[in-house]
């Protein structure tokens, strides 16, 4: 009898471990199975799932990996948008690389922009910043990169443009965006 109880206990432990492993695995993949850009802005979930596209472009002196997606209203009008632009001297974008988001508006720098309520009559939108002393700068990590798609994570601070003092925090940022196939 003791042997049977011991066998059942081991069986339940094994089954429970399998359930926990499956739940964690499913949870970590759940948010990146549908192409788009996902993150929390000051704790509020944001999802950009329309027109998620990525492209690698060559400029005179650098390459850029551009990632973008939108949110559309019921009439199909673009009302929100998000864009990441990563820069490299060589076309060496790869999984495992982390990019610091730097000063907005400077050619050849990594940037992030979040446009809410396009067009915004006030001209305000969230933008990356080089970071203020003691504040976490925004960073982006490429987790997977193929000739078909790019996946990654990002987090840190953004600031309201053009005034630059209102800060928001991005957490749990993830993207899965397919390359524009021409």
Show pLDDT as tens, one digit a residue, over the chain (182 residues): 544 444 433 333 333 333 333 333 334 433 578 999 999 999 999 999 989 999 999 988 889 999 999 888 777 776 788 999 898 888 889 999 998 876 544 455 677 788 765 555 666 788 776 555 555 678 899 999 999 999 999 998 888 877 777 888 899 999 999 998 75
Q: Is residue 33 within 8 Å of 177, Cβ to Cβ?
A: no
pLDDT of residue 96: 94
Query: SS3 of 119, please?
Result: coil
Please give the Cα distance from 114 to 25 (Å, whole number).
30
pLDDT of residue 12: 34
pLDDT of residue 168: 86
Please give the Cα distance from 67 to 54 (Å, whole number).
4
End-to-end CA distance of the chain: 68
Q: Considering the entire predicted model, what is its pTM?
A: 0.74
Q: Which two tokens stand for residue 127?
A: 């933008």
What ranges in the chain are assigned the alpha helix state H? 2-30
Query: SS3 of 95, please?
Result: coil
């Amino acid at each position: 009898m003791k042997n049977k109880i011991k066998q059942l206990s081991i069986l339940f432990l094994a089954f429970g471990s399998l359930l926990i492993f499956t739940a964690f695995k499913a949870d970590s993949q759940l948010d990146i199975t549908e192409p788009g850009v996902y993150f929390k802005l000051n704790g509020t979930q944001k999802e950009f799932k329309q027109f998620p596209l990525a492209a690698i472009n060559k400029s005179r002196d650098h390459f850029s990996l551009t990632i973008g997606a939108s949110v559309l209203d019921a009439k199909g009008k673009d009302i929100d948008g998000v864009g990441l632009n990563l820069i490299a001297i060589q076309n060496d974008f790869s999984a495992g690389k982390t990019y610091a988001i730097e000063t907005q508006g400077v050619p050849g720098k990594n940037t992030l922009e979040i446009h809410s309520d396009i067009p915004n009559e006030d001209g305000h939108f969230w933008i990356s910043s080089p970071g203020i002393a003691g504040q976490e700068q925004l960073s982006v990590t490429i987790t997977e990169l193929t000739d078909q798609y790019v996946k990654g994570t990002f987090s840190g601070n953004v600031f309201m443009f053009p005034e630059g003092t209102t800060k928001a925090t991005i957490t749990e940022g993830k993207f899965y965006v397919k390359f524009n196939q021409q």
